[in-house]
Amino acid sequence: MKDELPNIDLEYELEKALERAESVEEYKKIIRVALGQWLQNLKSGQIKLNSVGDLKVLIEADLMLKEIEK
């Protein structure tokens, strides 16, 4: 008797994978925009160096998304 593969709806799985990829791309865009705004605020003096926690959160989110892509 042949080993049978589980009955998987490949079209559904492909659609879900594409949705996840699109979400990751959207999140990356949001992070890039937020990071750019943060840097502008830092340069203009609106953000002082004691609020580096915001930058840390953005960098960590970016790194997390890069890990997801691997």
What pLDDT digit, counting tens, does each position of 7-32 carry?
Answer: 678 888 888 888 888 888 888 888 88
Tell me the C-alpha distance between 34 and 52, whole Å.
14
pTM greater than 0.75 (yes/no) = no
pLDDT tens digit sequence for 34-56: 888 888 988 898 877 677 787 88
